[in-house]
Amino acid sequence: MKRLVVLISGRGRNLQALIEAQRAGHIPAQFAAVISNRADASGLTHAREAGIPTEILPHAQFPDRAAFDAALAGRLRALRADIVVLAGFMRILTDGFVREFEGRMLNIHPSLLPKYAGLDTHRRALEAGDAEHGATVHFVTPTLDSGPSVIQGRFSVNAEDDAASLAERVMERIELKIYPQAVAWMARGELKLQDGAAVLRGRRLAQPATLADLEEAFR
C-alpha cells in the first residue's frame, strides 16, 4: 500500500476530505504523516483526531529556504513517502526539492490553470471578468503552478460573486471532490507523470480530466 504524506499550513479542509475518502476505502493508501510548517495550523487537529502522526517543521527556524527544504526532504525520505500531497502548504519549494519528488507530488490550485498561477486567484478572476472559475490538480514541477494538469472542475461565475464567495464555492463544489479523486488515481497506480505529461490509465492527458470523469465515490 502506498505511503501518503500530506503537507499543510492552514485549515486542512482538503486534508479532511482525503481522510474521509481514505477511511471509506476509496483511497488505497496509508497516511504516513501530516507535516505542517506552522504549529498553529488547525488542520493538524484533523490528523490527530484521525490517529495520523503529525510533525511540525517551522520554516522560521531555518536560515533560508534551501535549508528548510533539505530538512523537509529528509523527513519525507525517512517516512518513505510514495505520494506527497500539498494541501494548502504555503511554501514555494526549491527546484532541488521538487526534482527529488517530481512525479510523486501533487498540488491543488484554486484557478483554471494555466490562468492565475500564484495568489489572489479569485480576485484576479473577477477583475478579468471571467465567465468561469474553478480549481486544478496538477503535478508539481519547478515552475510555480505550471506542472501538468490532472483534473479541473469549473462553474459559472455569478454576477453577485465576490472573492470570498468564489473561494467558498471553489472549495466546496470543486476542490473537495477532485483532490481525493486524483490522489486515489495515484494511489492505485493509474496516474503517473511520464515524459513531462500527466498519464491516466495509460492515456496521455492532452486536456485535464473534468468533473464528468469523477468516479461515483467522489461526486
Which residues are catalytic, by number?
A: 109
Closest by CA position to 141, among listed 202, 217, 86, 208:
86
Q: Which letter does DSSP use for residue 144 in this model?
A: T
Residue type, 49: E
DSSP string, 59-126: GGGSSSHHHHHHHHHHHHHHTT-SEEEESS---PPPHHHHHHHTTTEEEEESSSTTTT-SS-HHHHHH
CB atoms within 10 A of CB 86: 19
Distance between CA atoms of 163 and 10, rounded to whole angstroms? 19
